[in-house]
Amino acid sequence: MKTSEIRDKNAEELAELETDLRDQLVKLSVAKATQRATNTAQFQRVKKDIARVLTVQRERAIGIDGALSHKTEAAEAAKE
């Protein structure tokens, strides 16, 4: 899932998405433990999606507009 898609969601949707992703991670762990996991790359993808959701939630909690701050940093780096 792209960060821009996550930023478009409201707080309730983010909380629901985080819960769904954590449930998915548990199911993958069970599948791995029972040797039914075929695509182990999904673990990394789900973990990164959870991290993206938590990052967006944290940015909103402390009042940072993450999309804007990344664009500003890139523009300042380009000037130098």
* Predicted local distance difference test score (pLDDT) of residue 40: 86
Domains of the chain: 3-79 (1.10.287.310)
11-25: pLDDT as tens digits: 999 999 999 999 999
Contact 56, 13 (CB under 8 A): no
pLDDT-derived band at 43 (thresholds 50, 70, 90) equals very high
Position 10 pLDDT exceeds 60: yes
Instruction: Give the separation between CA 76 and CA 56, rounded to whole angstroms.
Output: 22
* Number of Cβ atoms within 10 Å of the Cβ of 48: 12
* Predicted local distance difference test score (pLDDT) of residue 46: 97
- Give the global pTM: 0.76
Number of alpha helices (DSSP H) and beta strands (DSSP E) in the chain = 4, 0
Least confident of 13-27, 33-47, 60-74: 60-74
* Predicted local distance difference test score (pLDDT) of residue 37: 77
